[in-house]
């Protein structure tokens, strides 16, 4: 992994974000710096200029909030072109095991996945570009998950992959999650309607 600070070191900025490129091209771990005092804390979750300086020039078109109980697994979800979504995900309360899977058939990392623990107290966000499936497992009693998305939700373009696909072999923290009937009916990656747009690479 290669870490890059998007803020020049000679310019003090207590709100600077720290960006780390993960092993799947385009997936970025973003760490926030919170200002804390006796009242609590204040932190930014997004600033277009800093993300743009790092190379994340996504335009976000929809925000969303979900809440899940311990042991709930949501995913693996994605949308196809022309409504493929990039996502910036973070946790406002609780902890999750967050997963991104490359579903771009022409990609050298097709079928590979990466996972990061996101928590309200660790200041981490995960940027997942278009062409990736996303899912998470809830580690805390409850978790509030926040999303920024580069495209609006489109049922016509929504697709999914079964969470326990043996060919993906994702190392989920739990083996018997609470999952929706819809998510339980998703196909494995080899049978999924995946992203073939070469512009995604």
Residues forming the active site? 77, 147
Contact residues for 55 (Cβ-Cβ < 8 A; gap 6+)? none
DSSP state of 182: H
CB 117 within 8 A of CB 95: yes
CB 149 within 8 A of CB 158: no
Report CA 46 to chain centroid distance, whole Å: 14
Exposure b/e, 5-21, CB count within 10 A at least 16 = b: ebbeeeeeeeebbbbbb
DSSP state of 171: -
CB 88 within 8 A of CB 30: yes
């Amino acid at each position: 992994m290669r870490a890059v600070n998007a803020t020049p070191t000679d310019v003090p900025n207590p709100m600077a974000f720290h960006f780390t490129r993960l092993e799947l091209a385009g997936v970025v771990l973003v760490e926030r710096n919170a200002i804390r005092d006796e009242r609590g804390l204040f932190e930014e979750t997004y600033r277009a200029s800093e993300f743009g300086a790092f190379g994340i020039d996504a335009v976000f078109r929809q925000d969303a909030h979900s809440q899940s109980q311990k042991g709930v697994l949501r995913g693996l979800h994605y949308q196809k072109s022309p409504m493929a979504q990039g996502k910036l995900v973070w946790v406002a309360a609780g902890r999750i095991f967050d997963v991104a899977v490359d579903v771009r058939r022409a990609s050298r990392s097709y079928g590979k996945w990466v996972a990061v623990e996101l928590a309200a107290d660790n200041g981490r966000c995960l940027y997942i570009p278009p062409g990736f499936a996303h899912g998470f497992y809830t580690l805390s009693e409850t978790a509030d998950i926040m999303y920024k998305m580069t495209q609006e939700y489109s049922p016509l373009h929504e697709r999914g992959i079964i969470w326990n696909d043996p060919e993906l072999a994702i190392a989920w923290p739990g083996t018997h999650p609470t999952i929706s009937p819809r998510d339980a009916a998703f196909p494995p990656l080899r049978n999924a309607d995946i992203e073939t747009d070469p512009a995604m690479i």
